Copies of this chain bind each other. A is one copy, B any other.
Amino acid sequence: MAQGKVLVAQGGGPTAVINQSLVGVVLEARRHAGMGQVYGALHGVRGIVDEAFLDLSRETTASLERVAATPASALGSTRDKPDLKYCQEILKVLQAHDIGHFFYIGGNDSSDTVRIVAEEARKAGHKLRSIHIPKTIDNDLVENDHTPGYPSAARFVAQAFAGLDLDNRALPGVYLAVVMGRHAGFLTAASALARKSPDDGPHLIYLPERHFSLEAFLGDVKRVMDAKGRCIVAVSEGIHDASGTPILNSMVKTLDRDAHGNVQLSGTGALADLLVDEVKSKLGFKRVRSDTFGYLQRAFSGCVSDVDQREAREVGEAAVHYAAAGSSNGSVAIKRIGEYAVDYTLLPLETVAGKTKTMADAFIAESGTDVTPAFAEYLRPLLGTGMPETHRLRPNRVEKILKR
């Protein structure tokens, strides 16, 4: 069993529940005799090489519990993707501070960092237990039923579309929202859970798992508008054409060829605005609106799944159990074992590191513009309790008198 201090860090994009995992590690590590002081690195791996550590052993339990309920990475995060040399620097610091247990909470890039650090520690003969703790709103870690952070972001997307559908019902037209997820469509697909009645939106869902064609998109929108007089569309930011080129890039390229000068279109609202312009100019509909959910979907304070909170806490705790009792490094993974219950396993780091999971074909409707009931069954229990309910007036129509 490894001895020495504990080091925990957070990497990649923040989530609503990443601090639950942090606090799960800290509180559980405190209970283990073999584990010494618990350090937290500020801003992920960057804080490790800079020796920017907080002594989390000195933090009160009450304070930790309040931090756990706070969204975004309390230790700070980083986008650094360490190479071999960077990881060797990390190891030097771990050795200097007598770190025997290293926990890194993050996505597939973070798991790759853990893998390299663990390998370097082994080569250097430094006794180190290295555990990757899963986290990503993209839900794209292989061999995980789902990842902590995704359920809360999915809940935000579902609650957003539930309200936006009612808004569009009140003032009908075309409404389009761009949702995060460059390679995996899980978050965009969550928009389907906003539906209650058959005519509720979103009526069209475009995922990066399928090729996007502007012509087909315009045809789909026209068909829905002709049938329903309104159309709600969920679009993944990662939609791309048959050649794999992101739609934003291919559309901007066309515009570039028109020599449009120095207008930069890399901003976050560009894809939504361009698609709106296409619908307006090609289909002629008047009321066409769009939003880009942007950072709100991972950062909004006050939209969280209690199931996600609980599981994020548990993967942190489970990581400490594996470090204390187990004999190998690895990545904690969530396995679904019932409807609805989960268990946690430890995967070899190579299994997860640097790999990306996308939506299974069974989750995507034949049309390519919707999800299947199987996806709704998969996601529903993750959204947690207390989802806001909506209700409509019943259509007790009054007979016309003037009939003009």
Contacts and interface: CB of A to CB of B under 8 A. Distances in A.
A55 B398 CA distance: 6
Interface residues of A, number: 94
A290 interface: yes
A396 B55 contact: yes
B289 A92 contact: no
B261 A159 contact: no
B269 A292 contact: yes
A393 B301 contact: no
Contacts of A14: 166-167, 170-171
A208 interface: no
A116 B352 CA distance: 68
Contact of A292 (B54, B167, B292, B389): B292
Nearest to A5: B398
Contacts of A171: 13-14, 76-79
A258 interface: yes
* Chain copies in the assembled complex: 2
Interface stretch (A62-70, A142-150, A216-224, A330-338): A62-70
Contact of A69 (B63, B293, B391): B391
A303 interface: yes
A393 B96 contact: no
A71 to B, nearest CB: 5
25 contacts: A14-B171, A52-B397, A58-B396, A74-B392, A74-B393, A77-B170, A79-B171, A96-B402, A159-B302, A160-B299, A162-B301, A162-B302, A167-B299, A255-B262, A258-B261, A261-B261, A264-B277, A265-B273, A267-B272, A267-B276, A268-B291, A269-B292, A291-B292, A296-B296, A302-B387
